[in-house]
Amino acid sequence: MGRPNAPGYRNRPSKEPKNRVTKDRLFDEAGQEWERVRNDLSRDEVRHLLAESSVKVGIHRNYGDPLRWVPAELRWQVWRSEIEPEFFDNPNWRPPPGAPGQLPYCGLLYSANGRQLLLFDCMD
C-alpha cells in the first residue's frame, strides 16, 4: 500500500537516519543508539572527556532541534566560546534577553559499544 498524498501530509526529504535525543537514549546521524550513563558531569569531568580524542562531542540546544556534532579540531574552541560561559555551574549565568526561558548547558555522558559520547544539552 502506498503512502497517502492527502493535503497536510509531509514526505520526508531524506530517508537517512535523523539524530535525536529521548529521555535516556540518543540516536546519532548514523542511526547508532547511545545509552545515557550520566547527566551531572562536572566542569573537570567535561574537560577530561574533551581531552580524549575518541570521545564524540555533540550539542543539543532546543527540544526538537537536531543535534549538532562538533568536529574534533573545534571542540576546545566551541567549549570555551559557546558552552563554558553558559555551563550550569557558572554563578553569573543569566538567560539571554531574547530567550528568557533558556536554561544553562549540562554535560551528559552516553555510551555505546565501549565508546563514549559527550553531549552538551540545555535541557529545554
Whether 58 is in a domain gets the answer yes
- The residue among 30, 27, 33, 37 whose CA lies nearest residue 108 is 37
- The average pLDDT across 76-92 equals 91
List Cα–Cα distances, 94 to 39, 86, 88, 97, in angstroms: 21, 8, 10, 9
Is there a domain that residue 82 lies in?
yes
Angle, vertex CA 69, rays to CA 68 and CA 75, nearest 5: 120
Domain-embedded: residue 41:
yes
Structural domain count of the chain: 1
Distance CA 108, CA 119 (A): 5
Q: Which of 105, 90, 102 is nearest to 40 (CA)?
A: 105
* Within-domain flag for 9: no
The answer to whether position 12 is within a domain reads: no
For residue 69, what are the domain limits? 20-93+101-121
77 assigned to some structural domain:
yes
Write down the pLDDT at residue 124: 63
Is 5 a residue whose pLDDT tops 60?
A: no
Residue 13: inside a domain = no
Decide if pLDDT at 7 tops 90: no
User: Does some domain include residue 2?
Assistant: no
Q: What is the pLDDT of residues 46-65, one digit of tens each?
A: 999 999 999 999 998 877 77
